Structure 1
Amino acid sequence: MSKRERKKEIPVFCIELGQHIRTLRIENDLSIEEIAFKAGIDAQNLRKYELGKQEMKVSMMKRIADAFGITTPELLSFDK
């Protein structure tokens, strides 16, 4: 089994959430670096979340919501 075959499949919800985070960031005219700094995470990880290449824990969702100045339910309220 190759490394690519072993890779865990990312749930569709995580991919859509990443797209939503990117949309919020662009609508608020913020860079990946700005949101990552506010959330206390690495910009490269935020980029992976936005691109749907990495699954996100609930604690990370909270940190990202806080960085936008919104609640976690507000972050999660997008058309799924």
Structure 2
Amino acid sequence: MSKRERKKEIPAFCIEFGKHLRALRIKNDLSVEEIAFKAGIDAQNLRKYELGKQEMKISMLKRIADAFGITTSELLSFDK
């Protein structure tokens, strides 16, 4: 089995959430770098979240919500 075959499939929710995250960032006229800095994370990881290429831990969800100045509930409120 190759390394690529062992990769875990990303759930559809993560892909849709990534689209929502990107739309929210653009709506607030913020760059990836600005949100990443405010959240204390690497911009490359934030891009992966936005593209739905990486799952996010709950602690990271909280940090990103804080960077936007909203609650995690508000961040997760989008049409799925």
Distance, in Å, in 2 between the alignment partners of 1:29 and 1:68 is 11
What letter corresponds to residue 9 of structure 1 in structure 2?
E
| 1:15 CA drift (Å) | 1.1
Once residues 78 and 7 of structure 1 are traced to their aligned partners in structure 2, the CA distance between those partners, rounded to angstroms, is 28
**Residue 5 of structure 1 pairs with residue 12 of structure 2:** no
- Residues 3-50 of structure 1: CA distance to partner in whole angstroms, max 9, x if unpaired? 111111111111111111100000011000000000000000000000
Could you tell me which residue of structure 2 aligns to residue 19 of structure 1? 19
In the superposition, the TM-score normalised over structure 1's length comes to: 0.97
Q: Percent identity?
A: 88
Distance in 1 between the 2:74 and 2:35 partners?
16
Shift of 1:72: 0.1
Per-residue deviation at 1:2?
1.2
- Mapped partners of 1:47, 1:53: distance in 2: 9
* Coordinate RMSD, CA, aligned: 0.6
Q: Which runs of 4+ in 1 moved over 3 A?
A: none
TM-score (norm 2): 0.97
Tell me which moved more, 1-10 or 36-45: 1-10
